[in-house]
Amino acid sequence: MQLLVNPSPEKCKKNLARPVHKTKQINKIVKPILKKVEKSGDKALRKFAQEYDHVHLETLLVSEQEIQSAKDLVSKDLKEAIVAAKQNIERFHAAQATPELVEEVMPGVVCRRKSVAIQRVGLYIPGGTAPLFSTVLMLGVPAKLAGCPEIVLCTPPNREGKIHPAILFTADLIGITKIVKVGGAQAIAAMTFGTDSVPQVDKIFGPGNQYVTAAKQLVTRYGVAIDMPAGPSEVLVYADETAVPAFVAADLLSQAEHGIDSQVVLVTPSEKFAKKVLKEINEQLEDLPRKDIAYKALANSTAVVMEDRNSAIALINQYAPEHLIIAVEDAEEVVDRIVNAGSVFIGNYTPESAGDYASGTNHTLPTYGYARNYSGVSLDSFVKKITYQKITAEGLKKIGPVVEIMAENELLQAHKNAVTIRLNSLKGKKK
């Protein structure tokens, strides 16, 4: 992890640049996968399972028996932890629901807006080096709360053709019954085009590797929506001498272990503190089962000493981190000045991993700087906001002339006529 002391804005920008993926090369691999799944459906999915997951699948759907058997393979402690996390996530996301809005904007002109569930949603759950059963909670709970009628979950099988039992337990706990043994770009293709086993969906959610990410962006051309553009996981920790170096190091490593292309950043006003954190990182790293992955991620990561608080906050907002931990004196004052971040964790006792699992907020967040213009997944992600308007005869008399003048000045005569013909009709009734 490199150390920069009071660097120039140009130096910061260069050293904090995210890892670059060779998009053209990735798309060359992904596009044929999409086409094959569109053309051959389940047959292509089985072929890709053989090729990429090294497993022959007779059926792509998880059976009820597999789900029930999985429950016996999950420890009591883990079951209880998942249930507790579900309750917190459910409570926070349920509180995000908004009542229908009804407003009479002028006499006789009533406007409404209400949330309507997206009818068919697809959830992608990674199952490779880290089977993310927590993501089942983060996506499945708000989908259910929103009232989405059809939910399909895709996740890759292991070489025995099985899904991680914790993923199956969590899906069953939420009430997701359509679970498909398919991963990678082919899963995104299946949910986009539909196959005999995989329903076609309206919106796709979930994290994934660079091939999954590329596939999600490509399939938006076919009329399916996605939760957000995304890249590798990342965290920025802003900490001063009031923070605990061991805590900060642990937070940085918790993201570094996600993948070799993850990026972690420390911003601090103190070079002495930065060196304490780097020492802690080296000590804690040795005890991690995924230390090889974390070590490679740290090679792409940076500690920045920035003595001026205004410059530090400007750097944070420019970087727009997926996860932002603020452990400084007067933390709330800093929080109020943050405008670009996926999710913010405040104080020494708020580890980012709490948000990853159980605090109640959602861990599906914009990465790669997209926090400048995207929000993380929420209840709103699973609904559409439909507006309605109803105008009475008296209301049309008031608003009609406004519309006529505006339409006429935009040279859209038919728009004007749609109002005029009604107003003339009302005048005729008076006679």
Q: Is 234 annotated as a binding residue?
A: no
Q: Is 257 a catalytic residue?
A: no
Q: Is 186 annotated as a binding residue?
A: yes
Q: Is 217 annotated as a binding residue?
A: no
Which residues, 6 or more positions from 353, have their beta carbon under 8 angstroms from its beta carbon? 251, 254
Q: Is 255 annotated as a binding residue?
A: yes
Cα–Cα distance measured from residue 4 to residue 164, given in angstroms and rounded to the nearest whole number: 42
Q: Out of 234, 257, 280, 322, which one is annotated catalytic?
A: 322
Q: List, edge to edge, every strand of the sheet that includes 234-239.
A: 2-5, 302-305, 263-268, 234-239, 323-327, 343-346
Q: Is 362 annotated as a binding residue?
A: no
Q: Is 56 annotated as a binding residue?
A: no
Q: Which DSSP string do the residues of 162-231 spell out, in sequence order?
A: ---HHHHHHHHHHT--EEEE--HHHHHHHHHH--SSS---SEEE----HHHHHHHHHHGGGT-EES----
Q: Is 211 annotated as a binding residue?
A: no
Q: Is 209 annotated as a binding residue?
A: yes
Q: Is 415 annotated as a binding residue?
A: yes
Residue 268's SS3 state is strand
Q: Is 408 a catalytic residue?
A: no
Residue 387's SS3 state is strand
Q: Out of 280, 323, 352, 363, which one is annotated catalytic?
A: 323
Burial class (CB in 10 A: 0-12, 13-18, 19+), 72: exposed
Q: Is 21 annotated as a binding residue?
A: no
Residue 395's SS3 state is helix
Q: Which DSSP string do the residues of 110-128 spell out, in sequence order?
A: EEEEEEEE-SEEEEE---S
Annotated binding site for NAD(+): 124, 186, 209
Annotated binding site for substrate: 233, 255, 258, 323, 356, 410, 415
Catalytic residues: 322-323
Annotated binding site: 124, 186, 209, 233, 255, 258, 323, 356, 410, 415
Annotated binding site for Zn(2+): 255, 258, 356, 415
